[in-house]
Every structure is written in structure tokens, then in C-alpha cells.
């Protein structure tokens, strides 16, 4: 953990119209000690966010820094964990990593609730080796492959909202790390749980599911709705809203046909 290291991200919004010509060059400076905005999340404009950042945000391509174990119980690190938990619930996700809330640190979470499990048929639950996963929080995780047999299933990502593709993953892995209190933790997973674990672990190295996907299978999950509505379709990024309709059908295939 290099607390004084600065991660400099300089990039230019290339103009594609007269409006963008007026936009300034955006320079983002991230320092591990002060990347956290002060104040409440309601008025906060910077990370940790309560939403999933989207592909194109440079933080998703950064190799994340480890967390100093002595800092785990401090307010800045706990605020990241709180934001991650909130976003995971808000967007009905099955996993999340710290860069997905805008913070390039090695923190990941995995969860698969009974309600998410019940979105699948029993046959699909068995074929994908699905089971309920209580919330797992791993800080500075290390992944070891236990069974290298490759299994391909559809994946997507809350940071690439609306898209999915077939991704080959190892059938069984083991992770070690620290929990949210700083205690050592070990978790062995197989099947669907191992898939989610590998997906989130990849985020900590700046990788996304499309980097491992069979690119020819990349699909916009709502293409048929776009057609049926003759293009009158909007995709939201605000999470689950009040009322019976959710923001989206989770990209981890909460569609019986996948």
C-alpha cells in the first residue's frame, strides 16, 4: 500500500459536436489518502458513489491499490464499504468492487440472495450450480484456481448496464483476504459463486467481463424491446425505484432464457 502515490489520469473528451468543443480538458487526480469526499452522500459529488460508474470511467481500468490493514476500521474505508453495500442493494446486484463506486482500492463483495436465486428455474439452478451466497466482503483478496475446467455462461455487469455475453470461467476457486473488520477470511466457491467471485476479482485489476468474453456473443439485452417500441426506449441508471417495476433485469441473467 503506497499511501503517497498519486494516480494521474489525464484524458481529453474528443469533440464530436460543437457542444463538446466547449468542454474543457478533464484531469482527474486520485490520491489514496484523500480520494474520499467529505460530508454526506446526499450532497457529495465525488466518490465513493452510491451508484455504479459506467464503462469509460477511467477508474474501471486502474489496477487497484491494496488497503493498509490498519486503515480498515477508519471512517474513509468504512465509508467505501457502506457505499458498496448501498449500491449492491439499490441495483439488485450480485457483486460489486470498490472501483465500481469510483474508488481504486482492493475491496470486493459477493452476494446471491434467495429472491435472486428464485428468478431461475430449478433446472437452470442445477446446471449452473447456483446457491444462496450470504454477503461476502473481501479486502486485499488473493485468488487461487482450484479447478481450471472452463465453463461458459452469460454474464454482464452493472458497470456496463444492459449488455451481456458468454464468458468462460474456472469452475472452482478459493479466495483469501481480510473482512470488513480486518480479520483474515478464506472462501472456497464453485459454480455460479466462483463465477461471480472471478468477475469481481477481475475488477481489481482493471478488467471487465468483456475482456474475457466471446465477443461475438455480446448482446444488448433489450434489443427486442427497442424494436417492438420502434426505438422509443430509455435505459435508466438510477437503481430500483418505488413501485412494482425495477430498473432492469439484472445482467447476471435474471431472464429465464439465458
Name the residues annotated as catalytic. Answer: 200
Q: Phi and psi dihedrals of 65, rounded to 5?
A: -85, 145
DSSP-assigned states of every residue in 165-217:
EEEEEEEEEEEEEE-TTS-EEEEEEEHHHHHHHHHHHHHTTT--GGGTS-GGG
* Residues 6 or more apart whose Cβ sits within 8 Å of residue 92: 116, 240, 246, 247, 250
Q: CA-CA distance, 108 to 233, in Å (whole number)?
A: 32
Neighbours of 95 (CB within 10 A): 26
173, β-bridge pairs: 145, 189
Amino acid at each position: 500500500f503506497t499511501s503517497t502515490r498519486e494516480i494521474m489520469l489525464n484524458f481529453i473528451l474528443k469533440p464530436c459536436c460543437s457542444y463538446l468543443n466547449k468542454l474543457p480538458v478533464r484531469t482527474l487526480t486520485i490520491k489514496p489518502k484523500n480520494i474520499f469526499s467529505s460530508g454526506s452522500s446526499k450532497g457529495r459529488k465525488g466518490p465513493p458513489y452510491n451508484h455504479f460508474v459506467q464503462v469509460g470511467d477511467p477508474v474501471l481500468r486502474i489496477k487497484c491499490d491494496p488497503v493498509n490493514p490498519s486503515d480498515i476500521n477508519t471512517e474513509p474505508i468504512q465509508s467505501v464499504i457502506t457505499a458498496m453495500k448501498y449500491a449492491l442493494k439499490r441495483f439488485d446486484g450480485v457483486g460489486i468492487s470498490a472501483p465500481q463506486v469510483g474508488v481504486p482500492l482492493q475491496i470486493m463483495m459477493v452476494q446471491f440472495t434467495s429472491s435472486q436465486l428464485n428468478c431461475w428455474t430449478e433446472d437452470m439452478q442445477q446446471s449452473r450450480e447456483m446457491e444462496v451466497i450470504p454477503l461476502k466482503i473481501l479486502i486485499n483478496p488473493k485468488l487461487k484456481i482450484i479447478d481450471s475446467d472452463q465453463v461458459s455462461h452469460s454474464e454482464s455487469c452493472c458497470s456496463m448496464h444492459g449488455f451481456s455475453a458468454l464468458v468462460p470461467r474456472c469452475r472452482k476457486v478459493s479466495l483469501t483476504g481480510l473482512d470488513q473488520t480486518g480479520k483474515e477470511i478464506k472462501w472456497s466457491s464453485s459454480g455460479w459463486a466462483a463465477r461471480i467471485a472471478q468477475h469481481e476479482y477481475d475488477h481489481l485489476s482493471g478488467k471487465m467481463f468483456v475482456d474475457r468474453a466471446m465477443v461475438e456473443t455480446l448482446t444488448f439485452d433489450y434489443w427486442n424491446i427497442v424494436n417492438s417500441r420502434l426505438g422509443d426506449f430509455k435505459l435508466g441508471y438510477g437503481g430500483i425505484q418505488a413501485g412494482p417495476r425495477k430498473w432492469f433485469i439484472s445482467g447476471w441473467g435474471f431472464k429465464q432464457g439465458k
